[in-house]
Each structure stands twice: as C-alpha cells, then as structure tokens.
Amino acid sequence: MTDASSQLEQIKTGYTFEGGALTLGAAVVDGTADASAQVRLPLASMNRHGLVAGATGTGKTKTLQLMAEQLAGQGVPVFLADIKGDLSGLATAGEGNDKVSARAKEVGQDWAPTAYPVEFLSLGGQGKGVPIRATITSFGPTLLSKVLGLNATQESSLGLVFHYADKNGLALLDLKDLRAVVQFLTSDEGKADLKALGGLSSATAGVILRQLIAFADQGADAFFGEPEFDTADLLRTGPDGKGVISCLELPAVKDKPQLFSTFLMWLLADLFDDLPEVGDPEKPKLVFFFDEAHLLFKDASKPFLDSIEQTVRLIRSKGVGVFFVTQTPKDVPEGVLAQLGNRVQHALRAFTPDDAKALKATVRTYPTTAYDLEKLLTELGTGEAVVTVLSEEGAPTPVAWTRMIAPQSLMAPSPEATVDAAIAASPLAPKYAQPLDRESAYEKLAGKLGGAAGQGAQAGQQAAPADGAPAGQGAPAPAGQPPAEPAKADDPGLVEQVVKSSAFRSALRSAGTVIGREITRSIFGTAKRRR
C-alpha cells in the first residue's frame, strides 16, 4: 500500500462515526480530492466546541454557512452573528452553476438548492430584524465595564453601584436608570449613601458617569431596555422539525465592535445560567457561532478572560456548542483555545515575522500528520481547510486536508423581500417589537432629586416590582397615570389579556431575578433568572 493510499485509509477510518454527523468535505491527498474519504464532524462532539479560522477571503463564512445548514437540517437550533450581511442567504435556496456542480461532483456531494428556517434579529432594532434588548440589571457590571473600557478599579466601583441599586430596589432597565443612580450618588442628597459604599469615590463615579453619557451619545440607548430577550427563544425548531437559525444582523452596528461582541457574551452567559445540565447528549441543544471572536478578547482584563474560560468550559454540560470564528488561533487566549476540540483551519498568511510566528504556533497545536502543515496552511485554496475534530469517543481524528462541500442555500444576501417577509411572519415580533418603559430607577430618583424627598426615600426603601415584588403583583402604572384597577376574578378575558401581554411577562421575568431584595449574580455579574 502506497503512502497516499495508506493516508486515505487512515482518514476514512478516523472519520467513520455511528451517530449523526455533519459532512464538511472530501479528503485531499497529493492535491486530489477523494470523494470516498468523507471528512465529517459528529453531532455528539459539537458541544466540545470548536474553532473556524483563516485569513480574510479563505472561506470561513461559507464553512459557517454549510455547518449551520446541516445542523438545522438535523433538528439542531443555531445562533450566528451576521456582521457583513452575507448569511441572510440561508433563508433562500441556492443557485446552481457550473462551479457549484463541479465542486459537488469532486467531493461527492448530492447538491440540491435548499432554504432553511431563519429568524432575523437585530440589536435594539438597529437594522432589520426582531429587536434584541437586555436590561442593564441583567447585563451586569462586568460585561458593561468591558463595553465602556473601564479599568479594574472602575469596574469594581461600577459593581458597587449595581450593588447599591440591587439593595435599594432601584430597577436598572436602561442607560438612563444607571446614569440616574450614579448622578444621585454624586449629588448632595446621595453623599451619605456614597460614603456608606466605602470603595466608591466621587472621582471614580464621575468617570463612570462620563463614560455612560458618551456611550449613550453613540446610540447605545437602543440596546438596553425592555422587553428583554429571552434566550430560550434561541432553542426553537420549526414545524418540519428543522432547527431554527437565529441570525443576528449586525451591519448597522459594525462601528461598535466592543458592544456587539460583549452582547454575544451576554447571550452565552444567560444561556449558561438558564439551561439545565444534560451531560453529553447525542446532539447539541444549540450551536453558537461567535464571529469576529478577537473583538471579545481584545483589551480584556484577566478576570474577564477567566470568566469566559469558565463559561466555555462549563456550558458544554448544558448541551451548547460554541464555535469561535476568527482569523488566527492566536486571537483566542490559550485557556479558551485548549477547550476547542474541533478545528477547521483555512489558509493562513505569512507576510510578516509575526505572521510566520503565528503559523508555526498553529502547526504545533495539531496532531502528528503526514502533511507538511507549515507549507500546506499557506497554500490552501479558497474553500479548503485543514480539519481535525473529536470523535464520538473524544479522541482527535487524523488531520485531513479537506475540500469543503458547497452550501445549498444562497451564497449571497437574501433578497430584501425575503428578509422582510420572514421578519413580518416571525412569532417573536409581537413579543419584542414594541419597547417598554416602566417605572424604574430614573423615575424614582428624579422624584427624589426634584424635592419629593419623602416619597423618593420611601420608594428607595421598597423593592421595585422589577427587582423584588411578589409574583402576584403587576408592574406599576407609568408616572403621571393613576394605577390600574385590579382585574376582577370573574373577568377571565381581561386576566388572559394581561397574562399574555409582553409587559406582564417582562415584569414577571424581572421579578424572578431577586430572592428577597438582593439580586444574585452569575460568573459575569449578570443577573440570574429562573424561568
């Protein structure tokens, strides 16, 4: 048996799995693809996380697309961020041509144009899609500090502000609520409370306030508020059993990279808090693609990186797979990279000494192989990658130079009419489209600073419904309006309308964040919820 045939046989054996799997492409030896040597990724290993890396223009987005298609086709929900606007094509059947036909024949793919169920989302409604919002309370001080660019001392001080708001029943729903709390603590009326906090100086509070004002001026107000997005809505399947692909459209906020990368981390942290332990399922409950991952790790503090590492390590047992998508493995910290068992590495460039160093470091992370990886990784064509994954038993598969299959959905943005129709038909639109503005810290402290000291003090001593009201109590009436009369027990129609309303659900979810009067916070300082 020649060396080439021996290598192909090793790849065939290494990528033969009993359970469900994604097909990535056909193995290549001596420059020729062999359709009989299929390179696959088992569903049972996808919660062991992964990395899709490669230089710009090498095919990372198409790899993400073909993986999302096959996951959805096998009933696994998918979340992905669409920064360039390319991935909306998942909702539209692909268009065949000679190039696609030639690739399909070469890699043994039975290609057929196929559209997939896509839910289009947008951050705060900026862009096309159902708005995703988070309350400031739920987002927490750690993630917010990352977005604001605060140093360790300022981050610690911001945590004290959250602690003060939690303890005093001041609901932090949007940015103006947090600004109101900081303004109050730095005012004459709040000096005593500021002093009682100990570790928070007026100077640091002033820095935080200025950063919040600048952040709001950039348009960030739109991302925070209610109704808050329930991450359980990412775990849906369609009537046909296909997993729903939740596509977060981001072109409108591409100039706010820290915000959207940190927002994605909030989604992941929220999933971690809410999902039950499932161990190692036959297929994941959700696969989360974290595009432009280097933005999350850039300028991150050591505690923040430790929190990411811990979340990635522990969320595996919740049945969630996380795939980081970036240019080079060096963009991902070692503690996180060590947990990414599935690797799809597209071409790397070695134009500078730093590039060459990164190339050598990448090669050292792969199992021993007959390929000359240092040479191969700089010569891979578009739509080719070096692959190694974890088998169903958790062992690394042989390294395989892989010619990837072609996506079956449109490899370009979907027509606007298709996207608009999908958004209009979304079952999530009635739940999230209309923003809410309940009484919160801003209204309470505005009254206190405006001279209603007694009323404001009383409000400050009582937990707001958003943070501590019993589940049987509804949200307060907006400022300036009389409280609504309670629904009568013999009026089931009205009761049903209230219970089904997005305002009631949002208030109830917020009420569940507190046991007593103090919010319990998670690894990232995000408010824990129990649904």
54-101 residue pLDDT tens: 998 999 999 999 999 999 999 999 999 888 788 999 999 999 999 999
Domain boundary among 377, 396, 431: 431
- pLDDT bin (cut points 50, 70, 90) of residue 522 is low
- Per-residue pLDDT of 294-336, as tens digits, reads 888 887 878 788 888 998 999 999 999 999 999 989 899 999 9
Phi-psi region of 357 (alpha: psi -120 to 50; beta: other; left: phi over 0): alpha
Q: Which two tokens stand for residue 235?
A: 């775990």
Residue 254 confidence (pLDDT): 67
Same domain, residue pair 292 and 347: yes
Same domain, residue pair 283 and 371: yes
- 464 to each of 116, 178, 227, 507, how far by Cα in Å? 43, 15, 17, 10
Report the C-alpha gap between 428 and 423 in whole angstroms: 9
Residue 97 covered by a domain: no
Report the C-alpha gap between 466 and 346 in whole angstroms: 47
Domain boundary among 398, 431, 464: 431
Check pLDDT > 50 for residue 489: no
Residue 528 confidence (pLDDT): 59
What single DSSP character describes residue 228? P
Same domain, residue pair 242 and 368: yes
Same domain, residue pair 400 and 426: yes
- pLDDT bin (cut points 50, 70, 90) of residue 337 is very high
Q: How many CB atoms lie within 10 A of CB 329?
A: 19
Report the C-alpha gap between 341 and 123 in whole angstroms: 30
Phi (first) and psi of residue 257, to 5 degrees: -60, -40
Report the C-alpha gap between 16 and 19 in whole angstroms: 9
The CA-based angle 128-132-133, given to 5 degrees, is 135
| 489 vs 343, higher pLDDT | 343
Domain boundary among 411, 431, 451: 431
Instruction: Count Cβ atoms within 10 A of the Cβ of residue 131 and give its class: 0-12 exposed, 13-18 middle, 19 or more buried.
Output: buried
Residue labelled with tokens 């990395």: 51
Same domain, residue pair 381 and 465: no
Residue 525 covered by a domain: no
Residue 528 covered by a domain: no
User: How many structural domains are present in the chain?
Assistant: 2
Residue 494 covered by a domain: yes
Residue 521 confidence (pLDDT): 67
Same domain, residue pair 292 and 366: yes
Check pLDDT > 70 for residue 161: yes
Check pLDDT > 50 for residue 129: yes
Same domain, residue pair 42 and 153: no
| Spatial contact of 311 and 523, defined as CB atoms under 8 Å apart | yes
Segments forming the whole domain that contains residue 425: 3-92+103-132+225-431
Report the C-alpha gap between 343 and 477 in whole angstroms: 53
Same domain, residue pair 19 and 121: yes
Residue 524 covered by a domain: no
